[in-house]
Amino acid sequence: MDIVNEWISGINEILWSYVLIVMLLVCAIWFSLKTRFVQFRMIGEMVRLLGDSGIIKNREEKHISSFQAFAVSLASRVGTGNLAGVATAIAIGGPGAIFWMWLIALLGAASSFVESTLAQLYKIKGKDSFIGGPAYYMEKGLGLRWMGVLFAILITITFGFAFNSVQSNTICAAWAGAFGFDAAMVGGFLTFFTLLIIFGGIQRIAKVSGIIVPIMALGYIILALGVVLFNVTKLPEVLKLIVNNAFGWEQIAGGGVGAALMQGIKRGLFSNEAGMGSAPNVAATANVSHPVKQGLIQTLGVFTDTLIICTCTGFIILFSGAPLDGSINGVQLTQQALTNEIGNSGSIFVAVAILLFAFSSIIGNYYYGEANIRFFTKRKDVLIIYRLLCGGMVMFGALASLDLAWSLADVTMALMTICNLIAISLLSKEAFLLLQDYHVQKQKGIKNPLFEKSRIPGLKGDIECW
């Protein structure tokens, strides 16, 4: 097992140090400039669209609403990355890792806009809802089916298997720390309820996510705000600590800046998924009148995940005085921090929160795999086998080591992200044209812009649903 860990760690070092960080930053900066920083100047429109999606109604068809698509993608985003991932980044990279999380979210939100808008443009009609995502825009937009198949395989392994094992692992660790529950018992319950929900398809997943996500996110934010207000006099000191650890001369000399940057970007991407190619799979299912609408809504999801929820966890840890020497890591560090702030109930609260956060991620992650399996095969028996394997990986995660689970997730996440960034870079012109069309209609006073592909002759590829 040690040899496997060393081998996986070596691959991680190559991918993250020399390839992915450069690609993420270059794409994020390029998309931000080309869209004139759409992630900042259209925040008001993003919020408005959550309640006014402008869907095309058809009583004979079942479709996922814009908000439900937002909830499912947020369910996948908001998980262990927010509680355990932030703690791991701080423990390994220091407080400066939080700064780099903020940066990759602020810039990477533009990547999220581009990929989700493209997913809407190249979506296809499914039995119960629209279907789409990177595999589909690779085939229909670029004409590269082999690339779509490669991505579909990578995301199925990453989300259905690797990420779900991480989510399960973290839930079991939290419940063992809070209640002393056996990992096998907790894993068994998780596996049963996972299979119960995922066999209901996207409609059931969307309904469950639409209930769990708002409750869990709001509850955690309220608690975190309470901690921040209680420690408000320490806030300037904590902010100074974060910035100094991100740029301080002492950290530069000791290599600490590199560690903070690496952990911040790595865990930030795991948390908000901007540019990874995951959220577009759900963005494509929404029934909206213009592709840009869902692109804007998914951009808001990046901000909600990292700038609000991840920041809450970071502040709780840094306010608490919990040890940052690596003696405590993962979700146990978050539990210890909250226990220091509000007493023994803090550990219990984190255990319950991580159950809701991570379980919603498990079912959201599963759907990403399902959508991509449907890309290269329509056989129901393959889908059934995949569902059973997902349940098996939830059980595996409950019993596996934390280091192995995280390392495997890092490798597969890096490979699928590289594949997606290449595709959206090649297709980004389409997203820019759609954004321009949306702006033109808004300037004419049209509150609910409608997309007609004949109006934009520069679009290419097989656009089926518009």
Dump pLDDT digits (tens) for 416-429: 899 999 999 999 99
Q: Which two three-digit tokens encode residue 358?
A: 């991570």
Note whether residue 214 is domain-resident.
Answer: yes
Establish if 376 belongs to a structural domain: yes
Rounded mean pLDDT, 263-275: 71
pLDDT in tens, 111-146: 999 999 999 999 998 776 788 999 999 999 999 999
How many structural domains is the chain composed of?
Answer: 1
User: Scanning the structure block, which residue is given the tokens 């909250």?
Assistant: 338
Q: Which of 414, 400, 357 is nearest to 166 (CA)?
A: 400
| Residues above pLDDT 70, as percent of the chain | 80
Structure-token pair, residue 117: 């808008």
Q: Which residues contact 100 (CB under 8 A, 6 or more apart)?
A: 93, 246, 260, 261, 263, 264, 265, 268
Average pLDDT, the chain: 81
pLDDT band at 60, cuts 50/70/90? Answer: very low
Q: How far apart are CA 29 and CA 110, in angstroms?
A: 8
d(C-alpha 401, C-alpha 414), whole Å: 20
Domain of residue 93, CATH code: 1.20.1740.10
Does residue 450 lie within any of the structural domains? Answer: no
Which range scores top for mean pLDDT: 306-320, 339-353, 436-450? 436-450
pLDDT, tens digit (0-9, with 9 covering 90-100), for 66-110: 777 777 666 666 666 677 778 877 877 788 888 888 888 898 899
In a domain, 317, yes or no: yes
Residue 87 inside a domain? The answer is: yes
Q: What's the pLDDT band for 227 if we cut at 50, 70, 90?
A: confident
Residue 47 lies in a domain: no
pLDDT of residue 378: 81
Q: How large is the average pLDDT for residues 381-407? A: 83
**Residue 286: φ, ψ to 5°:** -70, 145
Give the pLDDT of residue 254: 45
Is 458 within the bounds of a domain?
no
Where are the alpha helices (H) located in 231-307, listed in sequence order? Answer: 235-247, 249-254, 256-272, 279-283, 291-302
State the pLDDT at residue 251.
47
Range of the domain at 112: 15-38+63-444
What's the pLDDT at 129? 75
**Residue 452: inside a domain:** no
